[in-house]
Structure 1
Amino acid sequence: MFRFQEPAYLYLLLLLPILAILFFYSIYKRRKAIKEFGDPDLIADLMPTVSAFRPSFKFWVLFACIGFFSILLARPQFGTKLETVEKQGIEVMIALDISNSMLAQDVSPSRLAKSKLLISKLVDELHNDKVGLILFAGDAFTQLPITNDFVSAKMFLSSISPNLIERQGTSIGKAVDLATRSFTSQEGVGRTIILITDGEDHEPGALEAVKRAVDAGIQVNVMGVGSPDGAPIPVTERNGSEYRKDNEGNVVVTKLNEEMAQEIAKAGNGLYVRVDNTNAAQKAITSEINKLTKTNIESKVYKEYDEQFNVIAWVIFLLLITELLIINKRNPLFKNLNKLFK
């Protein structure tokens, strides 16, 4: 991939045709003056040290320098560059519940939509940290391995829906175990799992998984999404007029299991906060994870474009040296070489 960072400087290249025209016009005027003075061949014999080639060669060298200098100012960039950087940070794994109950709209616009917006804002606060994303319902899978590529982290959010997992339910234990295994092997780094769920219809094993995470030095925070009073579950994410019903034809109402969420947060030495229609939950979690120990985290950073100015700078330098070394007149000490410049 190639581009110019400052393409406006390329307009300087428009000077080149003007310079070329002026140069050829000066040659025309000089030859015309010589013809008016006398026979050109006779005049050439009277001036043996005058070279017709050298001034033209010096001009075209400077002409090329101006062109390359215009390109240099435009900052040509090409390819990619991989850098290893160290920053003070922590590692955060976000586990998001995408079960059907997360489509309930007791939090505006829905539990799932609010959660995705919440994650986006959380990622914005993780400047020098690493973040990963796990999605779970009856099963759990890694949507994004732990990384400092926050652009990718936010990009994946738009495609998240309950359809990504066929088996429904709320297997918090599987999500926590997967998150625990997803951190890097670097020692001394503050680590936390942020569990975003409504806790509805959860499967057993959650507290045991949280204890295993704590034993590994990982804090577990919980963000409860929804309301204890509950709300019906829309049939689809974009349809709020038809709701899911049980086998008896009754509308299913999903409620936030706040008691379970608080137990998990307590067992995980973390914070429980309920998500509402304000930013209070996001601020509370951000404040909590900022308490974790930050240490040097090595990250591989891809720079999409690598500067190529050094190559052009060397070309300009060599051209200028060449121009300086060539004199306008022939050197009588090098008669054999002079023949090459006649």
Structure 2
Amino acid sequence: MTFAHLWVLHFLWLLPLLGLLLVFGYRQKKKALDLVADPELLVRLAGNMNKGKIFVKTAFLICALGIMLFALAGPRWGSHYQDITQKGVDIMVLVDVSPSMMVEDIKPNRLERARREVLDFLNVVQGDRIGLIAFSGVAFVQCPLTLDYGAIQMFLDELKPELIPVAGTDLGAAIEAGISSFDFKSVTDKVIMLITDGEDNEGKGLIAAQKAKEKGVKIFVFGMGDPSGGPIPATDGKGGFRKDRNGNVIMSKMDEESLEKIASATGGRYTRSVTGDLDLIYFDGIKSLTTARTLKSGKIKVYEERFSFFLPVAFLLLILEVLIIEREKIKN
């Protein structure tokens, strides 16, 4: 026998305490009644208390609660094998962690907003394999394609500009890293979700997008930021904003034109963060332009739930507890 929720059985230790409370309650009730009327008169009016029946009622109540706790723990025995098939697409999520992603033209800042969007995205994906790449001047695979979304969430917490010491925003390197992360022996549809503010310092994003198209990979782009842009926070710990050699504040503006070209080159779509979210890209873009294929199939062992055997017994004990009258009328 196994239990679905074994921790529930720890509450069984409360049953002896309940028994003591019931005994205490009975004694307090008896003392209160003795103060209201003469014991002999009370016996004539209400009948004599039968301690044996009181014990049986208490035992039935405690047993019923114990059986209900046992059933709540989910006892299981016996099993059968069930066929499972999981379908979806392969999605590599590329997140820009360059310093410009700390701009606060969207709150709280571009990078934090991107992190939250990916977390929400993981809650709506439907059986797809997800991977994660962080990039700035270079790109690194943080998590390969997996069905374990919890692993993706752990790596999302580590996304920050300090993660990659090479400055800049190389969209070409990011896209190429995404392409190399796929297994092209698999017939699964492949998607890159590029999350960036679009400042392609190396100018190689569109070239890499053409390579993705040749490989059959669609790129969906989520532009982080407002077209009007904003100043880049300084990273020297002194506060303020980054400045150029002439002392002018450096402004970071989202390059929407480049991002739209990258998405359209592969048959994907572009969405700006201030007008939509990743859920929109997923349902109106990825789901409509790709075909879910089998990612995982096999058999799993399913245990038979047996809690229903115990509930009628507990219910019967509760009925019997109610039907037992602890006071017996004195016959004249």
Category of TM-score, reference length = shorter chain = 0.5 to 0.7
User: What secondary structure does 1:234 align onto?
Assistant: coil
2:4, 2:287 → 1: CA distance?
Answer: 39
CA distance in 2, matches of 1:131, 1:237: 35
Aligned partner letter, 1:209 = A
Unpaired runs of 5+ residues, structure 2, are: 16-68, 77-81, 306-332
Once residues 84 and 112 of structure 1 are traced to their aligned partners in structure 2, the CA distance between those partners, rounded to angstroms, is 41
Q: What amino acid sits opposite 2:242 in the alignment?
A: R
SS at match of 1:256: coil
| Shift in CA distance, 237/135, structure 1 to aligned 2, threshold 3 Å | farther
2:286 pairs with 1:289:
yes
The total of aligned residue pairs comes to 247
- Report the equivalent of 1:229: 228
- The 2-side partners of 1:266 and 1:201 are apart by 16
Q: Is the 8 Å Cα contact of residues 229 and 252 (structure 2) preserved in structure 1?
A: yes
Give matches, 1:275-314, under 5 Å: 275-276=273-274, 280-286=276-282, 287-291=284-288, 292-298=290-296
Q: Which residue identity does 1:126 align to in structure 2?
A: V
Offset of residue 282 of structure 1: 2.2
Mark the CA change 1:7 to 1:197 in structure 2 (over 3 Å): closer, same or farther. closer
1:235 alignment partner, SS class? coil
Aligned equivalents of 1:146 and 1:154: distance in 2? Answer: 13
Shift in CA distance, 4/294, structure 1 to aligned 2, threshold 3 Å: closer
Structure 1, unmatched stretches of 5+, are 16-69, 78-82, 310-342
Are positions 1:129 and 2:146 aligned together? no
In the alignment, is the contact (CA less than 8 A) between 1:84 and 1:298 conserved in 2? no
User: Within the alignment, does 1:156 sit opposite 2:155 as a pair?
Assistant: yes
TM-score w.r.t. length of structure 2: 0.65
1:228, CA displacement in angstroms?
2.0
Instruction: Work out whether residues 169 and 199 of structure 2, in 8 Å CA contact, stay in contact via their aligned partners in 1.
Output: yes
TM-score, normalised relative to structure 1: 0.63
Mark the CA change 1:290 to 1:246 in structure 2 (over 3 Å): closer, same or farther: same
Aligned-pair Cα RMSD in Å? 3.6
- The amino acid of 1:182's aligned partner reads S
Query: How far apart, in 2, do the equivalents of 1:84 and 1:235 lie?
Result: 55
1:238-253 to 2 correspondences below 5 Å? 242-253=240-251
AA partner of residue 211 (structure 2): R
**CA distance in structure 2 between the aligned counterparts of 1:148 and 1:131, rounded to whole angstroms:** 7
In the TM superposition, 1:40-189 aligns within 5 A as 86-185=85-184, 187-189=186-188
The CA distance in 2 between the partners of 1:113 and 1:238, in whole Å, is 19
Could you tell me which amino acid in structure 2 is paired with residue 281 of structure 1? D
